[in-house]
Structure 1
Amino acid sequence: MKILIWQTAYLGDVVLATPLIQTLKKNFPDAKIGFVGRPFIKELFKDEEVELIPYSKKFKESFTVIRKIKNYDVVISPHRSMRTALILFFSGIKERIGFDRSDLPFLYTKLVPHRWELHEVDRNLELLKPLGVKEFIRETKLKMKEEEYRKILNKFNLKEKKYIVISPFSNFPLKEWSLKNWKELVRKLNTPVVITGTKEDEERSKEIDGKNVVNLVGKTSLREFMGVLKGAKFAISNDSSAVHVANAFRVPALTIYTATSPKYGFYPLIGEYIQNPAPCSPCSPNPKKCKTGTKECLYFPEPDYVLEKAIPYIKDL
């Protein structure tokens, strides 16, 4: 049997789909597993034994993907877009399992209730129940060989479990706790801190400085980002991928929520979170516009409260 997983969302969403891979391997050891995702999956799943099918969502590329996946017997789709539903339908894959809140749900052969009250991992695993799966692996998991991992730590002169990672940025600005608060938190942490982010965040990241700060914003590849998080003692982040990458290497993380909320199911599996106290929060899972125009939630909670939550994880640093 050939089973395909389709998750073309952001990095964090893909990491949270890794229990699907592990659960399918356990329950169907003779099956061939495939994964369709954005091009970064080639790096993310470099050491994973699955067929990787990168897809950058370009129109003409959709026809190529249809040809590549048409020989699969089953497809599991946590992704709920109209484009996904259409591609999977035209692929001709006999069994197409998706959520009842997906766009064009009638194009799936089996629908599973989508429930916000579940963690995303548990929500995704529900999609396997139509296949008769009863034994689930809930842990997220990313793989990295020891040699590669050590090279990354050496490249950035980092000592294993002797630093924490701060991830202040997001694809959605309304998920970002204010830079002023991040700066104050870093100043009070009094422990080695590594800041991560993309090239687009590089200029803003310069506002967060200090004698114990290593700024790697815009300086790491995806694999290096993974290695830096794997070596960390702890991670503090907005509601973003750093939390889930850290957890996938068994590193605890603290999520600071602003316009989003743990009720959507993207909180750390290892660690904890701080729900935003602003009366208008949350907005939506991926907020694009402040519903009050104040952006009040970006300034809460206070840095001292975040520090209090972090101390138990870093007291021996």
Structure 2
Amino acid sequence: MKRILVIQTAFLGDVILATPVLSELKRLFPGAELDILVKKGNESLLLNNPHLHELFVLNKSNGKWKAIFGLIKEFRQNNYDLVINLHRFGSSGLITALSKGKKRYGFRKNPFSFLYTKRFDHKIGDGTHEVERNLSVISEFGAEKKVRPELFPSQKDFDVIQPFVKENYYCIAPASVWFTKQLPAEKWVELTHTLESDSTIYVLGAPSDKELGDVIIEQSTHENIENLAGRLSLLQSAALMKSATRSFVNDSGPLHLASSMNANVTAFFCSTIPDFGFGPLSDDSKILQVEGLDCRPCGIHGHKACPKGHFKCSQIELIDSH
């Protein structure tokens, strides 16, 4: 194989969970040029990735179809030997189908998969990890079954976070896009009260998460909490997690940032379950959840509000969190 394209235009966590495919392809085809397509906003995750030849970005700001067909035109000129689509939505399937790749692999769930040369099942709920599902697409080439994701913060990223590195510090990432996947603010406050009084706690997240961080700090009696939401890049956040005593996350993107650095991590699963295949992959990882609820899980992606109105799955016991 001379040139390979991987497509993953879904969310932040999905891109991180695609990185084992990149590392395995480079191991199996060391001489191949390896490209990837991600959506606008996720490209910074793959900066410094030594396996990549070219990073393409799906930017819909000037029109979705203009962007899609512009990429298709470019990809058709690249003469790919293999195009691998890890996303199950139509636009990525169309790009794959029209790429002129000699081999076009992807998941059967994609509406354009009938135009692939090979299709694969994508079963959620049986405990198979998403990394394993992704790697199954290249299993015929000798790929390992399970490989930890990898991100590559630069030396500059580590220099930026160095002032925050203490002998004993924790990272918390309290926000999620979905309400029912997010441990409530009062539980995060409770968590801070279980951590050593002489430790430092950093709140991580996007600029939009700053307000939640401020609420946690205001309500907590812990005296050493600093809100870094919106102040660090994704790779800088990952770098800070790497040497933390422990990081605490929801079932969301920061969970996979921690996995990519093999950082000590505790993940809180509220409305979703680890059997969906998105749990932590660090050597030292814990999963905390409420067992025995008939209404859980109530969906793969979570909801904007609890469908039952009680949100009992968020009442996780924190005593064994670290």
The alignment's TM-score, normalised by the length of structure 1, stands at 0.89
What secondary structure does 2:271 align onto? coil
Q: 1:274 aligns with which of 263, 278, 288?
A: 288
Q: How much has 1:298 moved relative to structure 2?
A: 5.1
| Structure 2 Cα separation of the partners of residues 213 and 307 of structure 1 | 20
Aligned to 2:153: 144
For structure 1, list consecutive stretches of 5 or more residues without a partner in the other structure.
311-317
**CA distance in 2 between partners of 1:5 and 1:283 (Å):** 31
Measure, in 2, the Cα distance between the counterparts of 1:297 and 1:34: 44
What residue is the counterpart of 2:264 in the other structure?
252
Q: How far apart are the structure 2 equivalents of 1:262 and 1:283?
A: 13
- 1-side partners of 2:230 and 2:271: how far apart? 25
Q: Which amino acid aligns with 2:55?
A: L
* Aligned counterpart, 1:236: 248
Write out per-residue CA displacement over residues 124-180 of structure 1, whole angstroms, 9 at most, x where no aligned residue: 0001024x22445612111123353133222xx332x62111111012222111111
In structure 2, the partner of 1:53 is: 56
Decide whether aligned partners of structure 1 residues 250 and 87 sit closer, same or farther in structure 2, where only a CA change above 3 A counts.
same
Equivalent residue, structure 1, for 2:45? 44
| Pair 220,44 (structure 1): closer, same or farther in 2 beyond 3 Å | same
Q: Is the 8 A contact 1:178 1:298 kept in 2?
A: no
User: Does the Cα contact within 8 Å between 1:262 and 1:275 map onto a contact in 2?
Assistant: no
| Identical-residue share of aligned pairs (%) | 31
The answer on whether the counterparts of 1:105 and 1:111 sit within 8 Å (CA) in structure 2 is yes
Contact 2:106 2:137 (8 Å CA) reproduced: yes
Aligned to 1:283: 298
Matched, 1:181 2:187: yes
**Do 2:84 and 2:96's aligned partners in 1 also have CA atoms closer than 8 Å?**
no
Matched position secondary structure for 1:85: helix
Does the 8 Å CA contact 2:247/2:263 hold for their aligned counterparts?
A: yes
Residue 56 of structure 1, CA deviation: 2.9
How far apart are the structure 1 equivalents of 2:143 and 2:47?
A: 28
Of the three residues 227, 232, 237, the one matched with 1:225 is: 237
After superposition, the CA RMSD in angstroms is 1.9
Say which is worse superposed, 119-128 or 271-280, in terms of deviation.
Answer: 271-280
Cα deviations by residue, 1:98-127 (Å, 9 ceiling, x for unpaired): 112223321221011212221011110001
Sort the Cα spacing of 1:68 and 1:41 in 2 relative to 1 into closer, same or farther, 3 A: farther
5+ residue gaps, structure 2, are: none
Checking the alignment, whether the CA contact within 8 Å between 1:119 and 1:267 is kept in structure 2 is yes
Are positions 1:87 and 2:99 aligned together? no
Give the residue type in structure 1 aligned to 2:73.
Answer: R
- Aligned residue-pair number: 303
Letter in 2 for 1:275: Q
Residue of structure 2 equivalent to 1:78 = 86
Bigger Cα displacement from structure 2, 17-26 vs 70-79: 70-79
Report if aligned partners of 2:6, 2:35 keep a CA contact under 8 Å in 1. yes
Query: Would you say the 8 A contact 1:256–1:276 is kept in 2?
Result: no
Q: Contact 2:246–2:264 at 8 Å: present in 1 too?
A: yes
8 Å Cα contact 2:131/2:146 also seen in 1: no
Per the TM alignment, residue 290 of structure 1 is displaced from its structure 2 partner at its CA by: 4.8
User: Which residue, out of 131, 151, 174, partners 1:121?
Assistant: 131
Amino acid at match of 2:130: E
Equivalent in the alignment of 2:273 = 261
Residue 168 (1) aligns with residue 152 (2): no
The equivalent position to 1:206 in structure 2, one of 211, 214, 233, is: 214
* Contact 2:290/2:314 (<8 A) preserved: no
Corresponding residue of 2:165: 158
Q: Match of 2:17, as an amino acid?
A: L
Aligned to 1:314: none
In structure 2, what is the Cα distance between the partners aligned to 1:215 and 1:43?
Answer: 22
The separation in 2 between residues aligned to 1:26 and 1:137, in whole angstroms, is: 14
Residue type of the alignment partner of 1:231? S
